[in-house]
């Protein structure tokens, strides 16, 4: 990842923004990132076979991997 930017939401580090007041909150579903890899780098255009029942939102991560 190119430095200097954050991809996705950044909720902050305040205790009210942390999961269970100690861990970073989850803001990215790994299937969206892996879906981009599967489509662009592995050539798999049928993500329903990779993630049945999930509609991956790969557009969020275009150009993240170069």
pLDDT per residue as tens digits for the range 10-45:
788 888 889 898 998 888 888 888 888 888 888 888
CA distance 5 to 27: 15
| Res 52: pLDDT | 93
pTM across the whole model: 0.60
| Res 33: pLDDT | 83
| Res 1: pLDDT | 52
| Res 53: pLDDT | 93
Closest CA to 35 of 23, 25, 26, 43: 43
Sign for the pseudo-dihedral over CA of 44, 50, 56, 61: negative
Sign for the pseudo-dihedral over CA of 13, 23, 29, 2: positive
CA distance 47 to 35: 7
């Amino acid at each position: 990842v190119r430095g200097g930017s954050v991809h996705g939401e950044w909720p902050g580090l305040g205790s009210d923004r942390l999961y269970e007041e100690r861990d970073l909150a989850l803001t990215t579903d790994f299937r969206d990132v892996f879906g981009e890899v599967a489509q662009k780098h592995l050539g798999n255009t049928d993500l329903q076979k990779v993630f049945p029942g999930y509609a991956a939102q790969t557009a969020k991560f275009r150009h993240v991997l170069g």
